[in-house]
Amino acid sequence: MSNLLELNHIHKSFGTKEIIKSLSLSLEAGEIYGLLGVNGAGKTTTLSMLAGLLKPNEGEVFVNGVDMIAESISARKHLGFLTGEMKLYDRLTAKEQLEFFGKLYGIPKKEIAQRIEELIDLFQIEEFKDQLCSTLSTGQKQRVAIARSVIHKPSVIVLDEPTTGLDIMSAEQITKFIHHQAKVEGRAVIFSTHNLSEVERLCDRIGIIHEGHLAFQGTLSEILDQTESKHLHEAFFTLVNNEAVTI
């Protein structure tokens, strides 16, 4: 099967600070990939590079076979990106927000209406669809933000800490969404999180960024085997505290 997403030997520095030294990963259709790492490890930096918001100093990014660096406008059409940095427009209602982004992506008017109905239904936005975004709760805002990021039906979905700050019900809704997108719709989903149980439950593969590299990349059972751990949190500490395991 061909890869929907490919990162090859990415390097990124800010000034003299080398954040990502060499990082490669790929995702197939239907795969869910969880990106872990301590605060400041470089998860947001990596996801921003693969979404075309930051340019790597070296390396390649392909989305659906399109070169993100050379043809970023066309590559971004295949990708939906959610990050805490991208705020909703406070003066639009939840529904207007979705309409606005539908138009930005050039979705025909008739299709926008239908797509918005689907997303309102999927994320249970109905109750607050006509409320200004400035008045929404954290969980409601996050649901609108994710709906907005996938309005154009991208084949690759990139979510930076999608469940951070959400209660257990809202977080569950988002994990169900991720599962559905990959396993029913056949999209590739990569997300960063600090919630290890979410990763254990949801991800086909896990990547742990440490000191600019992927200290581990593989399935849950592979990481447990390689670190001789019973749980992901034990494996995580083993990899991040002493790099006894090499891939």
Ligand X SMILES: Nc1ncnc2c1ncn2[C@@H]1O[C@H](COP(=O)(O)OP(=O)(O)OP(=O)(O)O)[C@@H](O)[C@H]1O
Q: How far is the CB of 45 from ligand X (least distance, A)?
A: 3
Tell me the sheet residues that pair with 7: 25, 61
Regarding 41 and contact with ligand X (CB under 6 A), the answer is yes
User: Starting from the edge strand earliest in sequence, which strands make up the sheet with 32-36, in order?
Assistant: 79-82, 156-160, 188-192, 32-36, 205-210, 213-218
Distance spanning both ends of the chain, measured CA to CA: 23
Regarding 207 and contact with ligand X (CB under 6 A), the answer is no
3-class SS of residue 72: helix
Helix pair angle (138-149, 168-183), 10° resolution: 10
Tell me the C-alpha distance between 119 and 18, whole Å: 40
Closest to 142 in 3D by CA, of 164, 126, 120: 164
The region of 42-50, 124-132, 151-159, 219-227 touching ligand X under the rule CB under 6 A is: 42-50
Report how many residues bind ligand X under the rule CB under 6 A.
Answer: 10
Q: How far is the CB of 109 from ligand X (least distance, A)?
A: 38
Taking the CB of residue 71, how many other CB atoms lie within 10 A of it?
14
Tell me the C-alpha distance between 124 and 131, whole Å: 14
Among positions 33, 43, 101, 188, the unique one binding ligand X when judged by CB under 6 A: 43
Closer residue to ligand X in complex, CB, 14/225: 14
CA angle 61, 26, 161 (to 5 degrees): 85
Those residues with Cβ within 8 angstroms of residue 214's Cβ, 6 or more apart along the chain or in another chain = 23, 24, 25, 207, 208, 247
The region of 25-33, 38-46, 92-100, 174-182 touching ligand X under the rule CB under 6 A is: 38-46
Among positions 6, 25, 36, 42, the unique one binding ligand X when judged by CB under 6 A: 42
Regarding 44 and contact with ligand X (CB under 6 A), the answer is yes
Regarding 19 and contact with ligand X (CB under 6 A), the answer is yes
Q: How far is the CB of 20 from ligand X (least distance, A)?
A: 8
Closer residue to ligand X in complex, CB, 202/209: 209
The region of 35-43, 63-71, 75-83, 97-105 touching ligand X under the rule CB under 6 A is: 35-43
Closer residue to ligand X in complex, CB, 16/242: 16
Regarding 14 and contact with ligand X (CB under 6 A), the answer is yes
Q: How far is the CB of 41 from ligand X (least distance, A)?
A: 4
Q: Which residues bind ligand X (CB under 6 A)?
A: 14, 19, 37, 39-45
